[in-house]
A and B are shown apart, each in its own frame.
Chain A
Amino acid sequence: MKIQGSYVFEAPREQVWRALLDPEILARTLPGCEKLERVGENEFRGVLTVQVGPVKGQFQGSLLISDLKTAESYHMKLDGKGPAGFMTGEGDLTLAGTGSATTLTYDLDSQVGGRIAGVGQRLLESSTKSITRLGLEGLAREIAAMPAVPPVAGPAIPVVADPIAPVAAPVLPPVQHLTQAEVAARVATDVARDMRPWLIGGALLLGVAVLVLIRACGS
């Protein structure tokens, strides 16, 4: 499966770049991410819970970043596995733009196997799209809440400032993140929207399922 697309952030490239390398920001924005920590200079480990249709599973994985071109691009390799199967992804993230708008382009080849592929297949692509979009929207909120930084000079990876350090965010409202139930609801809505051309009834059913799920999660 290909995961491809682009997203425009209202922020300079340097700021987006910094967020893309910050495990704490990524952990907060990636839907279902329960943990993400840096274990090497460009290596991260984490735990992600993913739900695709009827299959929900926790994936333990690693993220390896290479070929860093500061504020321009990096290559990433994701490797996750868990009881519901495995998911891997490899590809490039590229930043482009000048001034206060930055376009992020992502192009990854992904492999999914096991129960999540066998049982969740029909919802896999639309769920992935939705999860990606939710993640990017979260990232945009984080970036908006980050203190402005001067453009990065030189090839070194910037030392990441604590993005929620009180001194750094004096006026911005606190960033609101989605709860698991909210993520599930948003993904289900997106999946239903994907199906609409041929399955309005299904979308309605999914809507009902989402309500049930939210109530179940809330109780």
Chain B
Amino acid sequence: MTATPVGERIKRNEDPRLLTGRALFVDDVTLPGMLHVAFVRSPHAHARILGIDAAQAREREGVVAVYTAADLGDYWQHGPLLVPPPPVEGMIFHERTQVPLAKDKVRHVGEPVALVVAVSRYVAEDAAEEVMVDYEPLPAVVDLEAALAPGAALIHEDLESNLAALVVQKKGDYEAARAKADFILKRRFSYDRGASAAIENRGVVAQWDLRAQRLTVWDTTQAPIPVRNGLAAMLGLSEHQVRLVAPFIGGGFGPKIMMFYPEEVLIPWLAIRLEQPVKWIEDRVENFYATTQERGQIHDAEIAFTKDGILLGVKDSFLHDTGAYDPYGLTVPLNSQCTLMGPYRVPAYDSELRAVFTTKTIVTPYRGAGRPHGVFVIERLMDLAARELGIDRIEIRRRNFLRPDEFPHDHVIIYQDFAPLYYDSGNYEPVLDQTLERIGYERFLAEEQPRLRAEGKTVGIGVVAYVEGTGIGPFEGARVQVQASGKVTVVTGVGTQGQGHFTVLAQIAAEQLGVNVEDVEVVTGDSDQFHWGTGTFASRGAVVAGNAVNEAARSVREKAVRLAAERFGVPEDQVELAGGQAYVTTEPGRTISLAELAKIANPMRGAVKPGTEPGLEATRYFGPFRGATASGCHAMIVEIDRETFQIDIRKYVVVHDCGRVINPLLVDGQVHGGVAQGIGNCYFEQLVYGENGQLMNASLMDFLLPTALDVPRVEVGHEETASPLNPLGTKGAGEAGAIPVGALFAQAIEDAFAVPGLEILEIPLKPSRLWELVREAS
């Protein structure tokens, strides 16, 4: 064991269970008498429902019930607005949230229209095929600009247009900056949709205990507490009548946030109504239509520079595809708006975002959550401007980086947490320097690239920088308890999706209490164990829940020290904790175990003193004042096959600054996974919608995920600029791997081809598209 486990590369506590198949996932839940549900989903992107005939399905043997919107009675309600619109003056926001089952019309392919409950999923699926829905097709709304054009079919007919929101945010005076500028560059950038494609699809199992009058729901959610509270309210139950268990989750990446998906809302209702356990597990085809997606945006951006490459201002106007409904408010486009200034000094910024309803699957945050778009736009503008100004691409970044003495830095505009966008801390040049060193930037350009080009190879290098707003509030909580065995239990309400909470949170408690990390058991995702919390998103778990655990463990530590000091008859400052024991620093032989102290704190006789609490236990909450800004640089060397336009990433480096690193092994893992997703997003994955709103590649045969052959070994370096916003000094790391990959691909590929007219202004690319771009430019 180590005395200071925080900062150590410690293997994950949860892995033995996961690797030996002893971890519970929602689909593992099997209950006696359990019924199964299949959904009838719209094959149309946009259509009026003229009628539903479920008579034949109801008659099938084994079918328990068939429900349409009309059968839901008062339970048919629009889903909650999960994030309210930001407090920005002059903002427009039209709240149109999803419904459990479509009633009058359907607004995207895959929207549920009816459901069948049966004794098995097989029977339910067969019966679902027998539910006949009569549709009157309406024009699909797919293209973002066409959606806003006059005469476009209205997705929500009570609105005047398909505009979902308009937010204009300004910093400084862009027009004045533009007037002073020596050089202006304007481009249109686009980013298309992808699916997060978690290994585990969504699933819900619900059980109503009639005698206890309690509902238990197992749900693949990243936010168990908000889902419990929301379900209790919808079902007319008290919060304590609902137990929400979010067990191990096979990847969340955002779409498993507290969505109140139709299935999530309906399965518990069915369990109560039918007084039998009910299960639904999403299949992969459903996942392509029914689980939220992200990334569709079009930016028209302009940047103003002096002739020396000093950035004077940026103006951006962009369209954001929100899909058929907008339950998650404006988090994604606000992130784009607020990440676009990157790590740079931007004196003037003028940004207009317009969110647009389309007849496509709903858009909510997916790893990166709007940030990749902002980084893509600013990094591309920097690259293209550098090229035209004749300044080295690294140098132009250095000239505009915020310096360490400029923090905290006020960017004035409102961020997704509704606080002004402040960068709490940062030190960007050492990150860049370490990146250049690790990738071998100078040597590659001076020696390797010329040599490889002479061999006829198309090889390029890219280096990009980014920031990531992380660790936002409102809060998380934790209860830390030393058990009579001396082992420590940490309980928190934050959801987990595979990041390693069982290890990181254990390290934090172990450090405070002087115990082995393996002796700290972490419980999360069970509302009966801890019922306050927000959830896993915005790279906030380690920051917010981590600091809550730190505070709770510190209180337990103080309690243990006080008890031990009383026992030993020494002042508290002479007692330390280590090795599962309290000892007197001046007489190291005098020790008492934490187990013994736990028993003393919970006596069978005598009295717990007034004003104190029994047990070596404490509950604490942590709510950061605002989000902490992490930063980093990615670099890669890529080779492109001129015949097939397949890519081979020869080297990939990430240097990351997420403040104080709790476990470098886990941060590396987070970064590796994020990079893999970023690579997929840039060169493999694209959700292709036809003009009729049909998703044309709704299977893993046609929606290509990168494989182990496509993802290189990623070398990760760390810099640590502690955040002043929390006692641990941490910042989030969950999305850093994915965010700048698009910008990096664009720069590295341009560098490889070295064709003057080649400008990569869109992501995702694919071999055929890159071939077209290169041919057009040559």
A118 & B128 in contact (Cβ 8 Å cutoff): no
Choose from A82, A83, A85, A122 the contact partner of B702 (Cβ within 8 Å): A122
- Choose one: A54, A85, A86, A117; the contact of B696 (CB below 8 Å): A117
The answer to whether A85 touches B43 (Cβ under 8 A) is yes
B-contact bits for A54-97, CB 8 A (1 contact / 0 none): 10000000000000000000000000011101100000000000
Q: Does B51 sit within 8 A of A, measured CB to CB?
A: no
Interface string of B672-715 (1 = CB under 8 A from A): 00000000000000000010101111110110000000000000
Nearest CB of B to A124, in Å: 9
In this assembly, does A201 line the interface, its C-beta being within 8 Å of a C-beta of chain B?
Answer: no
User: When the two chains form their complex, are residues B697 and A86 in contact, meaning their CB atoms are under 8 A apart?
Assistant: no
Task: Count how many chain B residues have C-beta atoms less than 8 Å from C-beta atoms of the other chain.
Answer: 20
Known: A86-B43, A113-B109. A118 touches B129 (CB 8 A): no
CB pair A113–B702 under 8 Å, yes or no, is no
Residues of B within 8 A of A54 (CB): 699, 701
A142-171: CB near B (< 8 Å → 1, else 0) gives 000000000000000000000000000000
Interface range for A: 10 to 19
Residues of B within 8 Å of A122, CB to CB, are 697, 701-702
**Separation of A83 and B698 alpha carbons in the complex (Å):** 16
Contact of B699 with A113 in the complex, beta carbons under 8 Å: no
| Residue in chain A with minimal CB distance to B691 | A111
Smallest CB gap from B288: residue in A:
A118
B692–A115 CB distance below 8 A? no
Residues of B within 8 A of A119 (CB): 285, 698-699, 701-702
- Residue A112 at the B interface, CB < 8 A? yes
Known contacts A118-B694, A118-B699, A119-B698; is A113 also within 8 Å of B43 by CB?
yes
Interface residues of A, dominant DSSP: mixed
Interface contact A86-B690, CB-CB below 8 Å: no
In the assembled complex, the Cα of A185 lies from the Cα of B44 at a distance in Å of: 30
The reply on B45 being an interface residue by CB < 8 A is yes
B41 — nearest CB in chain A belongs to which residue? A114
Please tell me if A121 contacts chain B, counting CB pairs below 8 Å: yes
Query: Which residues of A106-151 have CB atoms within 8 Å of chain B's CB atoms?
Result: 111-115, 117-119, 121-122
Complex CA distance for A117 and B289, rounded to whole angstroms: 12
B698 touches A115 (CB 8 A): yes
Q: How far is the CB of B365 from chain A (nearest CB, A)?
A: 24
CB B118 to nearest CB in A, in angstroms, measures 15
A121 touching B43 by the CB < 8 A rule? no
**Residues of A with C-beta under 8 A to B701:** 54, 119, 122
Q: A135 to chain B: closest CB distance in Å?
A: 24
* A residues less than 8 Å from B128 (CB atoms): 83
In the complex the two chains form, what is the Cα distance from A83 to B43 in whole Å? 9
Q: Given A112-B694, A117-B696, decide whether A83 and B285 contact each other with a Cβ distance below 8 A.
A: no
The CA of A119 and the CA of B129, in the complex, are separated in Å by 17
Give min CB distance, A147 to chain B, whole Å. Answer: 40
For the complex, give the distance between the alpha carbons of A84 and B29 in Å.
29
Say whether, besides A114-B109, A118-B288, A86 and B698 are in contact (CB < 8 Å): no
CB neighbours of B694 from chain A (8 A) = 112-114, 117-118
A83-B696 CB under 8 A given contacts A114-B109, A118-B109: no
Instruction: Give 17 pairs: A residue, B residue, CB < 8 Å, sorted on A.
Output: A54-B699, A81-B43, A82-B129, A86-B44, A112-B694, A113-B44, A113-B45, A113-B109, A114-B44, A115-B43, A115-B285, A118-B695, A118-B699, A119-B698, A121-B696, A121-B702, A122-B702
Interface set of B (CB-CB < 8 Å, partner A): 43-45, 109, 128-129, 135, 285, 288-289, 690, 692, 694-699, 701-702
Given contacts A86-B43, A122-B701, 7 further A-B contacts (CB under 8 A): A54-B701, A85-B43, A113-B43, A118-B694, A118-B696, A118-B698, A121-B702
Give me the interface of A with B, judged by CB distance under 8 Å: 54, 81-83, 85-86, 111-115, 117-119, 121-122
Query: Which 3 pairs from chain A and chain B are nearest by CB?
Result: A114-B43, A118-B698, A83-B129
